[in-house]
Structure 1
Amino acid sequence: MEIRRLQTADASAYRALRLRGLHEHPDAFTSSFEEESLRPLADAEKRLSATAHEKFWGAFVNGVLAGMVGLNQETRLKNRHKATLVAMYVADEFTGQGLGRALVDNVLQDARTSGIEHLILTVTDGNRQALALYERAGFTSFGTEPDAIRVNGISFGKTHMYLHLKSS
């Protein structure tokens, strides 16, 4: 396994894996397969272009992009101490191999290096595997947003979690 920052050259693999995750697990993401599949490859290239406030990492197994995660740092003056862990996904055939934890650890390391003090994220209610991963990494739940997303008319809540990096 290799974990590294995704770059513009990875856009095609990133887009394919993202669409797969959105299609196979529609309740796990706020974005939808239907909307994202209409976006051109150029949107993925732009998302992966190097910026200080949005970064993505990929987990590669034998050269194949098997998982990914993003970090979006707040840009407004009053919120720059915070960032959001986003778009976490590991392809089903690669789960249980430590890729998810390795991706989260990379985000935590980068956040600390960048001076971020608080990380936040959301997990769809019922996604016990993701919840357990984030709890093992030190995240704590601070509430649930009921009816946060709807997939095919079915309502799902989102558990909000945070990690204070200064003391961890």
Structure 2
Amino acid sequence: MDFTCGHHRGVVVLQVRVLKPKDAKEYWGLRLLTLNQHPDAFLLTLEEEQKRLYPIKRISALLKDPTRLTIGAFIDDRLIGTITLQKESYKKIKHKASVLSFFIEDAYRNKGIGRRLLTEVINVSRRLEIEQLLLAVVSTNTGAIALYESMGFTVFGLEKKALKVNGQYFDEQHMIYYL
């Protein structure tokens, strides 16, 4: 699955493709960078993520997991954004999937890359006959919420004090998209 946008000279080429185990090291680097840039948007802290054993090996294994699909956005062959689709495997909830690990390097935000990645996840979900996409987003992340709402996601719940970062609480909105 390879997709390319903007194929003109002098124009930045955005490539969107499914990540493979060989992309694990670059994924890890981008995750640490974005975790540092937006500590309130992730479940784990930067320190917790850095303490995990064998991170490249662990990420490589996740990228091989048949219930997960991670799509990356590349500019000049450099990973600048990712989104993961986590499919459910139990029979009664197999029609659902979660959107996880959606992050874009700050320098590339507000350029349509998030929309492109989310559109790809929706398209892949349709091909996989997934009927519902679920996600959780920190309530202060207004840019992400605006993107999700513009794509058709709706809030179905609010978890008060879902995260606590340096003594400060953050609520999370739970959103759903019906395909």
TM-score range, shorter chain: over 0.9
Aligned to 1:4: 17
Tell me the SS of whatever aligns to 1:37. helix
In the alignment, what sits opposite 2:81?
A: 67
Larger Rg: 2
Runs of 4+ in 1 over 2 A off after TM superposition: none
Q: Out of 114, 121, 129, which is 1:115 matched to?
A: 129
Where structure 2 has 5 or more consecutive residues not aligned to the other structure, the ranges are 1-13
- For the pair 1:45 / 2:60, whether they are aligned, the reply is yes
1:106 & 1:31 partners in 2: Cα distance? 26
RMSD: 0.9
SS at match of 1:145: strand
1:156 to 170, 174, 178: 170
Q: Percent identity among equivalent residues?
A: 38
Deviation at 1:57, TM superposition (A): 0.6
Quote the offset at 1:20 in angstroms. Answer: 1.2
Once the two structures are TM-superposed, the CA of residue 52 in structure 1 deviates from its matched residue by 2.8
Inter-partner Cα distance in structure 1 for 2:79 and 2:147: 20
Partner of 1:84: 98
Number of residue pairs matched by the alignment:
164
Letter in 2 for 1:139: F
Do 2:34 and 2:106's aligned partners in 1 also have CA atoms closer than 8 Å? no
SS at match of 1:19: helix
Partners of 1:18 and 1:141 in 2: CA distance: 26
Question: Under a length normalisation based on structure 2, what TM-score does the superposition of the two structures give?
Answer: 0.89
CA shift, 1:152, in A, is 1.3
2:38 maps to what in 1?
25
Question: Who is 2:157 aligned against?
Answer: 143
